[in-house]
């Protein structure tokens, strides 16, 4: 956690090839490195943020009773031929042949593979419903990969799948994920709005995209502004309250481009509430009934009858969220980023300008502060930079709190500031105050 020892290759200026702020910042502070078109390595700083996002996504899946498993990235073409999607998926699918000349592919999504697991494992309706998820790399050979990790070819997705006996129960599962998504984005400090969306190559006729507003977003949206004021609190995982929750959102017109209908928009949204803008799709949920279970013959016995199971799938762009949070939180004008504490790469930075100990790069005071605050996730800037460039650097990296050990700070105290907020002088003997402030804001 000493900056000089970490692999954080910070650039002096914004890289010219990056068009949007998240891409610029991620390259600038050394979060990612492109390895080939649309394919990136995640360097320690970026990886740390993504892992923290993944943890929150996982916890909210676990909270609705979904079970985690792990499917491989490489799939056999056989199951895709069974579902009929092998040809439909087209050039976005990366197709590979193994040494036995078998047709394999790098999974762009997992509806087929999970259906295959389900059909060989579950025979009775008594084991229903099943909510299953994994967090795994996907590959889509996008025609125009762009904006860094926002639209890339290899990306990290949480994908979940539900299996139910009938439409009514499947709708309940859909609503559970709807709630899990609202909770996930709330914990990430994002205002992500569910909007009626097109289903594309996944299929079905019920679908919501979760969109956060951003000028640089690729999704055009048409919405009633009042949807941004919908609140949800302590929604229990129970059929009726989840139905109410969804209809609280659905009563407002909010759709993506493909679903837009001018007449309906003008009829349903009073002029003063209309908003046409752009957003970033951070999640997408689908209900498609027996689209996969029927051709793949995935059924259970129920009252002596064979019933094809009803399925839905639910995706969160875990790697895209890193960029989306930057788009939502970065203050371009002042070059200041502030990560929500729950996903910040470090909680607090110690910016040291004090007298260095013999043979050490860092002052005794900094080591003392570090030791006293060992409950926090800290980083110490022990480089040769002066204090104002250290502050600037950490404003950019986005660590939300800074402890400044400047030459003007009294010997027995530190300067503590929240990025974008005021600073205060705190006595070394009262350092637990800082610990309390930060730990109380963890979510
Ligand atoms: C749902 C889970 C699916 O694939 N099958 C399994 C369904 N949906 S989706 O909308 O196509 O993708 C889910 C989320 O993944 C992110 N995403 C991407 N992120 C970065 N680069 C890409 N090229 C990319 N494509 C999709 C989005 O956040 C999307 O909502």
Is the model's pLDDT at 358 over the cut of 60? no
Where does the pLDDT of residue 244 fall: very low under 50, low under 70, confident under 90, or very high at 90 and above?
Answer: very high
**Above 90 in pLDDT, residue 357?**
no
Mean pLDDT, residues 173-182: 98
For 383, the token pair is 């480089």
Residue nearest to atom 20 of ligand 1 (CA): 151
**Tokens describing residue 126:** 């008594």
Highest mean pLDDT among 98-102, 122-126, 385-389: 98-102
Nearest-angstrom CA–CA distance, 434 and 373 = 8
Residue nearest to atom 10 of ligand 1 (CA): 284
Give the pLDDT of residue 302. 93
- CATH code of domain 348-440: 3.40.50.800
pLDDT in the model for residue 200: 86
- Give ligand 1 pocket residues (Cβ under 6 A): 109, 140, 142, 151-152, 155, 157, 159, 202, 281-284, 286, 313-315, 317, 320
CA of 316 to the centre of ligand 1 (A): 7
CA of 137 to the centre of ligand 1 (A): 11
- Say what the pLDDT of residue 355 is: 60
Q: Cα separation of 246 and 241, whole Å?
A: 9
Whether the Cβ atoms of residue 379 and residue 352 lie closer than 8 Å to each other = no
pLDDT above 90 coverage of the chain, percent: 89
Q: Which of 152, 194, 320 to mutate to test the pocket of ligand 1 (most atoms within 8 A of CB)?
A: 320
Nearest residue to 109 via CA among 292, 243, 249: 292
How is domain 3-329 classified at the CATH fold level?
A: BirA Bifunctional Protein; domain 2 (3.30.930)
Please give the model's pTM, rounded to 2 decimal places: 0.97
Classified as helix, coil or strand, 304 is coil
- Distance (Å) from CA 36 to ligand 1 centroid: 20
Choose which residue among 152, 317, 318 to substitute to test ligand 1 binding: the one with the highest number of ligand atoms within 8 A of its C-beta. Answer: 317
* Ligand 1 geometric centre to CA of 217 (Å): 14
- What is the distance in A from the centroid of ligand 1 to the CA of 225? 25
Residue identifier of the C-alpha nearest atom 27 of ligand 1: 317
Which part of the chain is CATH 3.30.930.10?
A: 3-329
Q: Where do we find the tokens 């949204």? A: 269
Give start-end residues of each CATH 3.40.50.800 domain in the chain: 348-440
Residues 157-177: pLDDT tens digits? 999 999 999 999 999 999 999
**Index of the ligand 1 atom closest to the CA of residue 200:** 11
Per-residue pLDDT at 153 exceeds 80: yes
Q: Does the structure show a pLDDT above 80 at 261? A: yes
Taking the centre of ligand 1 as the mean of its atom positions, its distance from the CA of residue 315, in whole angstroms, is 6
Query: Residue 7's pLDDT band (boundaries 50, 70, 90)?
Result: very high
Helix (H/G/I), strand (E/B), else coil: 163: strand
pLDDT band at 360 (very low <50, low <70, confident <90, very high): low
Tens digits of residue pLDDT in 53-85 = 999 999 999 999 999 999 999 999 999 999 999
pLDDT (mean) for 298-316: 96
Mean pLDDT over each residue of the chain, to the nearest integer: 95
Tokens of 366: 């900094």
| Whole-angstrom distance, CA of residue 19 vs CA of residue 30 | 16
Residue 156 CA to ligand 1 center (angstroms) comes to: 9
Ligand 1 atom 30, closest CA: 283
> In ligand 1, which atom is closest to the CA atom of 145?
23
Sheet holding 103-106, edge to edge: 74-76, 103-106, 94-97
CA of 157 to the centre of ligand 1 (A): 7
d(CA 140, CA 129): 30
Q: Whose CA is nearest to atom 2 of ligand 1?
A: 315
């Amino acid at each position: 956690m000493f900056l000089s020892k970490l692999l954080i290759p910070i650039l002096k200026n914004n890289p010219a090839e990056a068009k949007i702020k998240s891409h610029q910042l991620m390259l600038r502070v050394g979060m990612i490195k492109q390895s080939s078109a649309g394919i990136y390595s995640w360097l320690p700083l970026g990886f740390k943020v993504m892992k923290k996002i993944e943890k929150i996504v996982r916890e909210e899946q676990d909270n609705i009773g979904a079970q985690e498993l792990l499917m491989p990235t490489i799939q056999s073409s056989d199951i895709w031929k069974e579902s009929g999607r092998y040809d439909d998926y087209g050039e976005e699918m990366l197709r590979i042949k193994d040494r036995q000349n078998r047709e394999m592919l790098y999974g762009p999504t997992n509806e087929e593979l999970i259906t295959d697991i389900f059909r060989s494992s579950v025979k009775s309706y008594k084991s229903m419903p099943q909510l299953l998820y994994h967090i795994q790399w996907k590959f889509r050979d996008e025609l125009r990969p762009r904006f860094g990790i926002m639209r890339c070819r290899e990306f990290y997705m949480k994908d979940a799948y539900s299996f139910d006996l009938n439409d009514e129960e499947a709708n309940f599962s859909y609503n559970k994920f709807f709630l899990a998504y609202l909770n996930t984005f709330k914990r990430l400090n994002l205002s992500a709005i569910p909007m009626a969306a097109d289903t594309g190559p996944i299929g079905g006729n019920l679908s919501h995209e979760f969109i956060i507003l951003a000028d640089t977003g690729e999704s055009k949206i048409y919405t009633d502004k009042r949807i941004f004021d919908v609140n949800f609190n302590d929604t229990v995982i129970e059929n009726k309250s989840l139905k109410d929750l969804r209809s609280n959102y659905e009563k407002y017109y909010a759709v993506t481009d493909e679903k837009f209908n001018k007449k309906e928009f003008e009829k349903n949204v009073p002029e003063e509430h209309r908003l046409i803008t752009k957003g970033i799709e951070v999640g997408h949920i689908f209900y498609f009934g027996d689209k996969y279970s029927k051709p793949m013959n995935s059924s259970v016995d129920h009252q002596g009858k064979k019933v094809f199971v009803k399925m839905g799938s639910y995706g969160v762009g875990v790697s895209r969220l890193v960029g989306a949070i930057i788009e939502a939180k970065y203050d371009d004008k002042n070059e200041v980023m502030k990560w929500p504490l729950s996903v910040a790469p470090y909680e607090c930075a110690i910016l040291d300008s004090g007298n260095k100990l013999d043979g050490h790069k860092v002052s005794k005071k900094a080591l003392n502060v570090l030791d006293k605050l060992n409950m926090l996730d800290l980083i110490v800037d022990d480089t040769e930079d002066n204090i104002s460039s250290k502050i600037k650097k950490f404003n950019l990296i986005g660590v939300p709190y800074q402890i400044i050990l400047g030459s003007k700070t009294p010997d027995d105290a530190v300067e503590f500031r929240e990025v974008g907020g005021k600073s205060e002088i705190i006595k070394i003997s009262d350092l637990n105050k800082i610990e309390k402030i930060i730990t109380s804001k963890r979510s």
